[in-house]
């Protein structure tokens, strides 16, 4: 990963503009969650087991082999639940709280932003969420949000790798043999990495998969936008409403994404048309909206990990990130008790 770089003059310039900005639009991609350690499976080279991840993210794949597709998405849900929001998530949450005219558009489906406490009125999920479900039956409109059950059904439980005791003849001492036995019996066991094709993965029948509680017939599917599907029209309408309700946008934040895919990419141009200055936060200086000609005079580029850059950029508005994280984590823990 590229070293984090914050030019002091750019930092001062950005903070002076942010201080007097009321309308802020943020567009976030995978780089926002990079420090949380999640696998992304993005692009043509993304392989899960022996399958190209993009080939599993289609309605056709679900119709052909719903068990395999659910294994893939159950794995991603499980990994996301094991990850934690990072400092960039919490900094965005706090800035959104302090700026009345603030909206985040996220392309991420990992559920880390809501778990960091992001105000649901100030974030729109362009690609849905791993933790939303909907019925796959054509005539059923059942939808469910923020379902964090893991696994959804017993058949999707990720197998455990239970350590085996060391035979006494090979143990270095009786103490070592005892420790090996205690480890095997107790107790600790790790998830098997089912993303590797050599790890056995049993076939799961349609009868064992989650079914719709409304119609009783359709299989539930992940509530995310698959390849070949349209982005949710109600979400796009809400974004359009935010853009239209004021003649001005002060700052556009582009965080951890090249913004190369439409309609997300179009929001950068829309913000500029409304007078916004654009701040790009990315580890790759070449990965900017519109390529090498995408930056305009007065824009900023901050190179590095979003979890380091974002709290520093927002410090003048939100203060130190440590106490903010402690407060939000404590609140989340209290809410789940």
Task: Give the active site residues.
Answer: 127
212 is in an annotated binding site: yes
**Strands lying side by side in the sheet with 123-125:** 123-125, 101-106, 23-28, 251-255, 277-282, 300-303
Report CA-CA distances (Å) from 195 to 155, 246, 313: 17, 46, 36
Q: How is residue 243 annotated by DSSP?
A: H
List alpha helices for 130-222, DSSP H.
174-185
CB 188 within 8 A of CB 93: no
DSSP for 84-134 reads ---HHHHHHHHHHHH-TEEEEEE---SSHHHHTT--GGGEEETTEEEEEEE
Beta strands in the chain (DSSP E): 23-28, 47-48, 51-52, 101-106, 123-125, 128-135, 143-144, 160-161, 190-191, 220-224, 251-255, 277-282, 300-303
Hey, what are 308's tokens? 């380091």
Rounded CA-CA distance 316/158 in Å is: 44
Rounded CA-CA distance 289/185 in Å is: 54
Rounded to the nearest 5°, which phi and psi values hold at 255? -115, 115
Q: How is residue 268 annotated by DSSP?
A: H
296 is in an annotated binding site: no
Q: How is residue 166 annotated by DSSP?
A: P
Which residues are paired to 25 by β-bridges? Answer: 103, 252
CB 102 within 8 A of CB 120: no
User: Which residues participate in the annotated binding site for Zn(2+)?
Assistant: 135, 140, 212, 215
User: Which residues participate in the annotated binding site?
Assistant: 135, 140, 212, 215
């Amino acid at each position: 990963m590229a070293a984090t770089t914050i030019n002091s003059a750019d930092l001062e310039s950005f903070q002076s503009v942010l201080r007097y900005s009321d309308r802020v639009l943020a567009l976030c991609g995978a780089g926002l969650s990079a420090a949380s350690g999640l696998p992304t499976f993005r692009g043509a080279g993304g392989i899960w087991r022996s399958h190209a991840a993009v080939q599993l993210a289609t309605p056709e794949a679900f119709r052909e082999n719903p068990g395999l597709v659910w294994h893939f998405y159950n794995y991603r849900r499980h990994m996301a639940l094991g990850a934690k929001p990072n400092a960039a998530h919490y900094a965005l949450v706090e800035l959104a709280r302090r700026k009345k005219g603030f909206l985040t558009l996220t392309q991420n489906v990992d559920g880390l932003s809501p778990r960091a406490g992001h105000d649901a009125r100030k974030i729109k999920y362009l690609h849905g969420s791993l933790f939303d479900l909907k019925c796959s039956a054509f005539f059923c409109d059942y939808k469910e949000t923020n379902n964090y059950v893991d696994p959804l059904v017993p058949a999707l439980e990720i197998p455990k790798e239970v350590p085996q005791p060391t035979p006494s003849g090979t143990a270095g001492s009786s103490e070592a043999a005892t420790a090996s036995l205690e480890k095997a019996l107790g107790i600790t066991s790790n998830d098997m990495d089912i993303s590797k094709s050599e790890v056995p993965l049993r076939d799961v029948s349609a009868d064992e998969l989650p079914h719709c509680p409304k119609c009783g017939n359709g299989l539930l599917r992940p509530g995310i936008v698959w390849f070949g599907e349209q982005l949710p029209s109600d979400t796009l309408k809400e974004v359009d409403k935010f853009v239209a309700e004021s003649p001005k946008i002060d700052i556009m934040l582009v965080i951890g994404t090249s913004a190369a895919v439409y309609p997300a990419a179009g929001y950068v141009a829309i913000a500029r048309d409304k007078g916004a200055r654009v701040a790009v936060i990315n580890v790759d200086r070449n990965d900017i909206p519109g390529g090498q000609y995408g930056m305009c005079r007065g824009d900023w580029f901050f190179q590095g990990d979003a979890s380091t850059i974002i709290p520093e950029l927002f410090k003048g508005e939100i203060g130190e990130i440590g106490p903010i994280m402690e407060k939000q984590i404590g609140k989340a823990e209290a809410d789940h008790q």
